[in-house]
Amino acid sequence: MKFFDKTEWSLLYALPVLIILLFALPTWLVNYVQVSMGMGLVALAVMIQMRAGLVSFGQGLYFCIGGYTAGMASKFWNISDIFVILVIAIVVTVAVSGILGFLLRRYREIFFAMLTLAVSMILFALLSSSHELGSTDGFNLPQASYLGWHPEGETGSTVLFILTAILTLACAILINRFLRGPIGKIIEAIRENELRVEYLGASAHVSVHVLYMIAATISAIGGVLWSMALGHVTPEMANWTTSGQFVFIVILAGTGNVFAPLVGTLILEVLRVYAVEISPNTWQMILGIVMLLTIVFLPKGLWSLFERFVKRLSSKEPAA
């Protein structure tokens, strides 16, 4: 077996492409690419849970934990080193998701969706009523530093972009590995028939638990990267509307490949930017129509378009 599969090679190739984009695209668009990577990781987390038939309507919980860890580390302990922040965020997330997993792994379908939503809304309510953390206004983050190096201004944003790209793609590769691995196969089987999985000797509960923790961890990494890029966190990150947006992205993009949610996030962001520009009063309607059309004509998401395109290419090649 080759060490990297096709998807992983593409993810590796995506890094230089992203770095070229950083210098080729206008700054405003680079900003959207950057925030899309942070949000894309959360969408990826929603996507892998959807593979198991679990719709998380509360992924904003870990997105918010990531963001607030970054914010609170700098606010209370004066830590702006992004690597330290990432470690703290991962530790906190693993602890929280490890505990919550014992509860959530027992539920499926609408019960899982509603419970994840409920837990996320608890954090939203707590943060909204905490005056020290700026309540719903949130608070601002300083510019990130890197192992004692404090780049300012343009250099700072460039470094953060490159780091965001590296981490996002690395997470995507690891998730791809995970999906190809034993648990990845089991979770798909869980979606098909959970009872049979148990008869085959695998534990559905343990698999869902691991899946939930992995999804939580990459969401928190996404939260750190997103909030460091924007420089501001609010409890809105844990609100169900934010979580709903991630579900929207996955439905739009499809669950076919780890690339899909990452690209889907960017497409949705750009779509939103132009929808607001075309019609500032009714831009949500444009997004809604796109959503409807996707569900009706591309039930497997935008990724299925790409798959069809690749299939047609490969079927033509031998003939030529």
Residue 159 touching other proteins (CB under 8 A): no
- Shortest reach from residue 103's CB to other proteins, in Å: 24
Cβ proximity to other proteins: between 7 and 135 the closer is 135
At position 317, the amino acid (one-letter code) is E
Residue 22 touching other proteins (CB under 8 A): no
Cβ proximity to other proteins: between 106 and 272 the closer is 272
At position 131, the amino acid (one-letter code) is H
- Shortest reach from residue 52's CB to other proteins, in Å: 26
Cβ proximity to other proteins: between 283 and 306 the closer is 283
Residue 164 touching other proteins (CB under 8 A): no
Size of the chain in residues: 320
Piece in contact with other proteins (CB under 8 A), picked from 166-174, 204-212, 230-238, 299-307 = 230-238
Contacts (CB under 8 A) with other proteins, residues 96-125 = 125
Contacts (CB under 8 A) with other proteins, residues 125-144 = 125, 128-129, 131, 134-140
- b/e burial code for range 67-89 (CB count within 10 A of at least 16 → b): bbbbbbbbbeeebbbbeebbebb
Residues in the interface with other proteins (CB under 8 A) total 34
Residue 27 touching other proteins (CB under 8 A): yes
Residue 288 touching other proteins (CB under 8 A): no
Q: For residue 232, which phi and psi values (nearest 5 degrees)?
A: -160, 135
Cβ proximity to other proteins: between 230 and 305 the closer is 230
Cβ proximity to other proteins: between 135 and 158 the closer is 135
Residue 66 touching other proteins (CB under 8 A): no
How far is 221 from 166, CA to CA, in rounded Å? Answer: 12
Cα–chain center distance at 69: 17
- Shortest reach from residue 190's CB to other proteins, in Å: 31
Cβ proximity to other proteins: between 168 and 234 the closer is 234
Three-class secondary structure of residue 149 per DSSP: strand
**Residues 211, 11: contact at Cβ < 8 Å?**
no
User: Which of these, 245, 280, 2, 240, lies nearest to 113 by C-alpha position?
Assistant: 240
**How many CB atoms are closer than 10 A to CB 149?**
11
Q: For residue 66, which phi and psi values (nearest 5 degrees)?
A: -60, -50
Q: What angle do CA 178, 249, 315 make, to 5 degrees?
A: 70
Residue 240 touching other proteins (CB under 8 A): no
- Under 8 Å CB-to-CB from 35, ≥6 apart: which residues? 226, 229, 230, 269
Contact residues for other proteins (CB under 8 A)?
26-29, 31-32, 35, 125, 128-129, 131, 134-140, 153, 230-232, 234, 236, 242, 245, 269, 272-273, 276, 280-281, 283-284
